[in-house]
Structure formats: C-alpha cells, structure tokens
Chains A and B, each alone.
Chain A
Amino acid sequence: MAKTPTQNAAKEPIISKKNCLMMMSACGILSISQAVGHSILSFFQSIGALASFVGTAVRHIFTPPFYPKLILKQFVDIGYYSLPVVGMTALFTGMVLALQSYTGFTRFNAEGAIAGVVALSMTRELAPVLAGLMVAGRVGASIAAVIGTMRVTEQIDALVTLSVNPFKYLIAPRIIAGTIMLPILVLIGDIIGIYGGYIVSIYDLGFASGSYIQQTWDILEQMDVISGLVKAAVFGFIVTMMGCYHGYNSGRGAQGVGTATTYAVVSASILILISNFILTQVFFS
C-alpha cells in the first residue's frame, strides 16, 4: 500500500478492490472446500458405519441361535398389520390409474389399452414402490422408535448383560420378516390394484368385463410380476434395515428417538426410490 500509490492508481485504478475480491473469493473457496471436505468425509464415515452394520446384521441372520417365535411375531406385526394400508393404497391407485388412462387414451382412441396400463403399472412399479413407501412410514418408523427407546432406556445394554445378542434378538427377526413379507403384501396389492382398475372400468367407464379380463391376461407376463416382487423384497430389506440402524444408533433421550424415527423413514424412502430406478434398469434394459 505504501509504495507508489499514484503509479498503481494510474495503471490499474481498481487494483486494491480487485485484490480484495480475489482474497474474499479465495477465502470463500477455501472455507467451502473445507466444508465440502468435511461433509464428504462424514458422508463416507456414515456409509462405512452403515455398511458394517448391514454386514453384522446379515451375518447374524444366518448364524444360530435363531428366534422363530420372534420372527413369527414380526411376520404378524410387519406383514399382517400392514395389509389394510397396502390394500387401500393399491385399490385407489388402481382405480385412479384406470380413470386417468381413460381420459388420456380416449383422445387417441386407445381405450383398449387401459387394462394393460393398469396391470403393468401396478405390478411393475406402483404396487412395490407405494407399498414400500407406506411400509417405510408404518413399519420403519415403529421399528426405529421401539429399538431407539430400548437403546435410550438401556434395555439393549440389559440384553447384552443377559447374554443375548441384540442383533440376533431384535434386528434379525425384523429384517427377515420385512424381506419376506413385503413381496407377499405386494402380490396382494397387485391383485387388489388390478381389481380396482377393473371396478372403475366396468362400473364407471362401461367396459365389458370379459374382454377387460382377457386384455389383462394377454399383456401380463411372469416377468412383470416377478420383477415387482423382487423389488418388494429389496424394499422390505431397506425399510427394516433403516429402522433398525437408526434405532440402534439412536441419540439420547426422547429427542434422540424422534430424530432416529425421522431418519429411518426419510432414508428408507429415498433409498427405495433410488434402488427402484436401479432395479428397473437391471430388469428391463
């Protein structure tokens, strides 16, 4: 600053301002890159923690002792009690699909495709994804809340001191039940959803029952249904795993359990949508 201000000013009058701006942006970039570095680091740390949790959980699913009674109880909790939610979702989705495709397809005189659209969208996409999301809200949240509360009230510690492994006793039964029950729920959802489309088409839009059913059978292939069920198994695994992971690592107090529950639902929902895309790629391209 002290040296030859006039010279500088003549050559480049805004040099100090420019310097300033450069410094500011450098600082900004530095702190941004630092922040990014930190969050990338903690991102990979949490991926690592999650991966090791999943590994441990899967190992305990396949090694004794097993708790058949607890698995059965989870079948009922996760499967049976999710039926109404999944059933309602499938029914109204099937109905709305028929309505929407009717209003769309009449423009092209393609009403005949309604049966196919309903059957394919339900089995391939909507039944598994919507069931997955509904179950994430219903089951994922409750798993995280139950296991989180057990963590916070030291019940998980108590299990350990009583020589029971919490992975085998709490986590394995839930993941087994989720992975097996969601495909069954989705199969039921497929049927109810297609039936919903049928009801609207026959009673509201005036299609002939026989040809509608025929069109449905004609278009539907084994792979459509099977791919949906495989997706469902993956989603069931994701939902229960996220519930267990966030519950098991719950922070302290009611606040900790609340946060764990939110994370369980949000992370499961996002992972469902991402893995759905990946699975669709794998199956149909």
Chain B
Amino acid sequence: MSVTHPKIRLRDVKKSFGDKIVLDGVSFDVAAGESLVIIGGSGTGKSVTLKSILGLITPDSGDVEVDGKDALSMSAKERDAMMQKFGMLFQGGALFDSMKVWENVAFGLIQGKRIHRDEARVIALEKIRRVGLAPQVGDLYPAELSGGMQKRVGLARAIATEPEIIFFDEPTTGLDPIMADVINDLIKECVKELGATALSITHDMSSARKIADHVAMIYEGKIIWNGPVKSLYDSGNSYVEQFIHGRADGPITKHAGFKA
C-alpha cells in the first residue's frame, strides 16, 4: 500500500481525425475518490478525451492508465474487467431505443452483474426515482421522453451498477435549473457516499463549482489549466477567466472557430 496510483492517469495523449488534430498531448491525473471537471469550448475534444480513456476511441499516441494499469494495451479479458468499474453518461444519452426505460437502467445489472430481472427492476426504479423521474416512466420507451428526461435516464443507467469510476458528459445540459441542482447533488452523493471517482464535462459553471474538487480546462488539444476548484475564480489565467465569465472577447475568440 506504499504506492498509490491515481485512479486515472493520462500522459501526452494525442488523437487526430484525418488531418484535424483534436487532442495534442493531454495529460492529467484523477485521484481515487476525487471529482475532476473538464471545461472547455465546444469541439475542443472533451468527449474524445473520455472515450479515449474507455478505449472507445484509440489514441494515436500517449499513455492511459486506470488503477496503474495500461489501458491501451490490455487484453480483451482485462478490458472487460476494467469496464465493470466504469459507468458513463453519454452526451447524447445513447439510450437503447429498443428497450423500455427501466430495462435501459437495469441493463448493466442484468447483463454485466447477472442480477435477476425482478431484482434488477426494483433497483432500476429506485435509480429512476433518484434522478427525479416518476416510476411510471420506467415503462415508457426512450423515444417517448423529452430530451432532459432522456439525459436523466442516461444518468440513472450510468450509476445503476454503482461503479467505481463514473464519467458524466454534460450531465446538466438541457435540464431546468432546479433539476440541474438535483443532478448536481446526486453526482456529489455518488462521489461522497459511494466513494466513486468522477470525471465530468460541463459548460455549466454553477454545476462545475458544485461538483468539482479539481477543474481542468482544455484548449487547442491541451490542458492549459488544472487546479482546485476554489482557485478557479482567481486562476490568473486569461483563457480560464474568459471562459468561466463567458466573455465574447479575450484570447480565445482570436483563434476559435476559424482554424478547422
């Protein structure tokens, strides 16, 4: 127990699509039980970063370690075992449209953890309640829900198996302010009570302030600032300041949007 690995460790991760460089050497650590929030402009590669850690996208170069193990050169078996630790809320929900809502939420319990259907349904309905939805919603299909409701079902599915590491890709986007705060509380609970490690992406600064222990800002494929949330508002970094105050002019507008 002398050496403690960070739960997640990225070193110099690079990824291009065609000749478009998206990640240009991303490095950061997330300690166990910590909540890191990544902020950054639209299209700067935040979602790609999460998917690279999960192996859904293979980085061109660099290292990704989960619990001290190299996540990029794993065997299929090791990868399956690693996936058991993860839960992910996708930005677009990614709900299985051929299944009812409760089956979506229970999917990881039934297929991954081999829990009996009836028991899994009870757990799923409890999670559905936790994200502020009525139990009747469980019997609807995802296509019958509003965007914000789908997001919350995606969230319920991500936390249903009580994973050690949870990724939230824009958990509060598309929710009303009150519901957004309910979700913020839920994410905090997951980290505090379950001891989970959380890695979230958000554009919502009040959400970032509430759920983050640390905040990292990504810009032009690199992490340009990484620090505790309490120093977010006196970072002294002009990019961060422009971003968190949502100013139209500043260093970011000079380049953004015109380089692709």
Contacts and interface: CB of A to CB of B under 8 A. Distances in A.
Interface residues of A, number: 12
Nearest to A157: B56
A155 B96 contact: yes
Contacts of A160: 54-56, 83
A151 B220 CA distance: 27
A153 interface: yes
A162 B94 contact: no
Main secondary structure of the interface of B (DSSP, over half): mixed
A164 interface: yes
Contacts, number: 49
Interface in B48-63: 51, 54-56
Given A162-B111, A162-B112, A163-B112, A157 B96 contact: no
B54 A161 contact: yes
A161 to B, nearest CB: 4
B144 interface: no
A154 interface: yes
Interface stretch (B85-93, B120-128, B222-230, B248-256): B85-93
Contact of A161 (B87, B92, B96, B97): B87
A158 B97 CA distance: 12
B27 interface: no
B108 A162 contact: yes
B111 A164 contact: yes
A129 to B, nearest CB: 32
Nearest to A149: B97
A153 B97 CA distance: 10
B204 interface: no
Contacts of B243: none
Contacts of B157: 158, 162
A158 B96 contact: yes
B108 A163 contact: yes
B44 interface: no
Interface string A46-71: 00000000000000000000000000
Interface in A105-161: 153-155, 157-158, 160-161
B86 A161 contact: yes
B115 to A, nearest CB: 13
A153 B94 contact: yes
Interface of A: 153-155, 157-158, 160-165, 169
21 contacts: A153-B94, A153-B97, A155-B94, A155-B97, A157-B56, A157-B94, A158-B90, A158-B96, A160-B54, A160-B55, A161-B54, A161-B56, A161-B86, A161-B88, A162-B83, A162-B107, A162-B108, A162-B112, A162-B157, A163-B108, A169-B111
